Amino acid sequence: MRTVRPRGDSLVARKVGQLAWRLYASARYLERAAPLRSAEDLAGHALVGFDAVLSRMPQLRVLEEWKAGRFVFRSKAAMAAAGAVAAHQGVAALPCALASLYPELRPVLPEVELPLEDVWLVASREARKVPRVRALMGFLAERFEESRSVMLGVRGCRHPPWRMSFAGTRLGGLARLPTGHVRGLRYTVRLPIGGITP
């Protein structure tokens, strides 16, 4: 699983969804912080961000370009950034699917639209011919279709029974589908958040 479409002829890519990003803060942070009614108000707020490699992503560049408030925390992992926001440290741009795992987070400035991030299912041309691989790819495509509302940040939606979980890694965060079996094939899938493929 990748969030950047691969180049070259050796790989076959299938787009299986999109991740929506929004600005989030915790309810407790919003209670004690200055009013946040427009993007200009971000100048007076603490921000949670990502390290230089990930900050170049279109979804994250907006905070850098606005020259918004000071960054009080930066990380290479989406999970760590979400945890800092949940710990009332400030405002951050996060994938909606990740933010939905934290009940204390609230979307802020809904008028600020961040670019969607594509999700690609990728396999080599040779592997794509293997029946078990084709079965797994079809299974994963169906699971992502079931999770479309969560990935797009539709309010009130819940993760399906197989729900994504997120784990921090050295570069970026990983959305991890639980280990399982599809037609005899044991699998563990990790989806990089932020275009970084481990």
Among 108, 124, 141, identify where a domain stops: 108
Identify whether residues 33 and 95 lie together within a single domain.
yes
Amino acid at 8: G
Identify whether residues 121 and 143 lie together within a single domain.
yes
Determine, yes or no, domain membership for 2: no
Identify whether residues 39 and 101 lie together within a single domain.
yes
Runs of H (alpha helix) within the chain? 27-32, 52-55, 58-66, 78-86, 96-99, 125-128, 131-146, 148-151
Regions in the chain scoring below 50 on pLDDT: 156-198
Domain around 79 = 21-108
58 CB-near residues (< 8 Å, 6+ apart): 114, 115
Quickly count helices (H) and strands (E) in the chain.
Answer: 8, 10
Identify whether residues 103 and 137 lie together within a single domain.
no
Q: Is the full-model pTM beyond 0.85?
A: no
Query: What backbone torsions phi and psi does residue 189 show, to the nearest 5 degrees?
Result: -115, 135
Among 108, 126, 159, identify where a domain stops: 108
pLDDT given for residue 170 in this prediction: 30
Structure confidence by residue, pLDDT tens digits, 3-24: 888 888 889 898 999 989 999 9
Identify whether residues 95 and 147 lie together within a single domain.
no
Identify whether residues 62 and 103 lie together within a single domain.
yes
CATH of the domain at 61: 3.40.190.10
Determine, yes or no, domain membership for 151: yes
The neighbour count for residue 134, using CB atoms within 10 Å, is 14
Query: Are 81 and 73 within 8 A, CB to CB?
Result: yes
Domain count, the chain: 2
Amino acid at 105: L
